[in-house]
Structure 1
Amino acid sequence: MDDLNRRNEPDGEGDADGRDGQAGAGGRDGQAGAGGEVAGLVLAAGGGRRLGGRPKALLTHRGRPLVEHAVAVLRAAGCTRVHVVVGARAADVRRLARLEGCVLVDNPRWEEGMGSSLRAGLDSLAGTGARAVLVSLVDQPGIGSEAATRVRAAFRDETSLVSAAYEGVRGHPVLFGSAHWAGVAASAAGDRGARAYLRAHQDAVTLVECGDVARAYDIDTEADLGHLE
């Protein structure tokens, strides 16, 4: 459960509004207004291999696609700009999920793992004016707005590096100041996400305990589906 490529769990809440806004691989469009200080980024491209090929973004939670929940959490934490990286069955995600106001970022290399989605998401934020990004994973419905808000509140400037912690163990969401984006992208590979970068810079990471407001689990297998509501 450590780092940006494991998953955590909070008690989520809220529904995302809208649909549309989309961007090609590395592209960006569909969102009005300034990027804001802290943008939100949902990594939602996975194909759900251990779930019989059901994309996690489209699993049903509280009557709606799980990706809507992930977006709602970031918005409730104050992220007015939210980018969502899609890959597996991207056309279905656009069609079935209400993601208005979000920027949808296509990751044609999603099968390579989370690292490729993280790189695509960070690239899509270039030029938006965002000073930091709050990164979450689509398959962690146990992590709600309270945890996301705590992590976002620890943002100070472009050098900020902040991670939620669960009983002292690093988890999600993770906030990267823009000064870290190039380094994170360069080290993200396979399914490791930002793990290597966070370990290399562990002395600079601010840990924010969230174990009292969130549960750190992820939806990986059929047995995990019981966490969905």
Structure 2
Amino acid sequence: MAHRGESAGAGGTKGAGRPEGRVAGLLLAAGGGRRLGGRPKALLDHRGRPLVEHAARVLRDGGCGPVHIVLGAAAEAVRERADLAAYGVSVNPDWARGMGSSLRVGLAALAGSGADAVVVSLVDQPGIGAAAVARVVAACTGRDALAAAAYGGERGHPVLFGAERWAEIAADAEGDRGARSYLRRHTGALTLVECGDVAEPYDIDTPDDLRRLE
């Protein structure tokens, strides 16, 4: 396990270095897919099912529990078409204001979960699987933990926030920046967990990106 401000090696295993307690999963899936012609990303087809199902299952299989999903655009259609019975679900009425508002909704929903930390992932990154999530979960050292997946040394998703940090992160989350400002201010406390050998951090943002979905 890396020290704070350093990178963890690629060989981390599920649960290694993790104290007693739970690491929740938070899936941000509210986006309206503006650059995809208004197709909500949660409903994009992936392996014959809505993408949101795949992304939630990745968090669960990576060792997160409970897993909570924040919906926004076409929320009712997502609920009707996707099997989300195993997960908590919130709807962000202000989803169009950006990722920050969805992060606030999700952290508020998990506030009473008893989790020591939360792993936050994005619905439009299907190249990130359970192996990467498990490595980030393993970086949880307590309720003040701060860790993120890295790809060639560059910070990416998923990101882990210890529960003691949630209030400040929520207060800081605005627009599409999410927790980026918070992470920049706390670089010295951040553990980077290299995941480039087990995941690809591409986004599904444009029609050309849809070819990456199976």
Same fold (TM over 0.5): yes
Confirm whether residue 99 of structure 1 aligns to residue 84 of structure 2: yes
Query: For residues 197 and 187 of structure 2, what CA distance do their matches in structure 1 show?
Result: 23
List gaps (5 residues or longer) in structure 1: 1-35
Please list the CA deviations of residues 181-223 of structure 1 after superposition, one character each: whole Å capped at 9, or x if unmatched: 0111111100001000000000000000000111110000001
Q: 1:145 maps to what in 2?
A: 130
SS in 1 for 2:177: coil
Q: 1:115 maps to what in 2?
A: 100
Q: 1:16 maps to what in 2?
A: none
Q: Alignment partner for residue 171 of structure 2, among 177, 181, 186?
A: 186
Query: For residues 47 and 97 of structure 1, what CA distance do their matches in structure 2 show?
Result: 16
Confirm whether residue 212 of structure 1 aligns to residue 188 of structure 2: no
Please state how far the C-alpha of 1:128 moved relative to its aligned partner: 1.2
Q: 2:6 maps to what in 1?
A: none
Please state how far the C-alpha of 1:52 moved relative to its aligned partner: 0.6
Q: 1:78 maps to what in 2?
A: 63
Paired amino acid for 1:67: V
SS in 1 for 2:176: coil
Query: For residues 65 and 28 of structure 2, what CA distance do their matches in structure 1 show?
Result: 17
Paired amino acid for 1:127: G
Please list the CA deviations of residues 106-144 of structure 1 after superposition, one character each: whole Å capped at 9, or x if unmatched: 100000000000000001011111110000000000000
* Contact 2:22/2:65, CA 8 A, preserved across alignment: no
Please state how far the C-alpha of 1:80 moved relative to its aligned partner: 2.5
Q: 1:125 maps to what in 2?
A: 110
Q: CA RMSD in A?
A: 0.7
Normalised to the residue count of structure 2, the TM-score between the two structures is 0.89
Paired amino acid for 2:162: G
User: Comparing both structures, which one devotes a greater share of its residues to helix?
Assistant: 2
Runs of 4+, deviation exceeding 2 Å: none
Query: For residues 152 and 167 of structure 1, what CA distance do their matches in structure 2 show?
Result: 19
Normalised to the residue count of structure 1, the TM-score between the two structures is 0.84
SS in 1 for 2:26: strand
SS in 1 for 2:69: strand
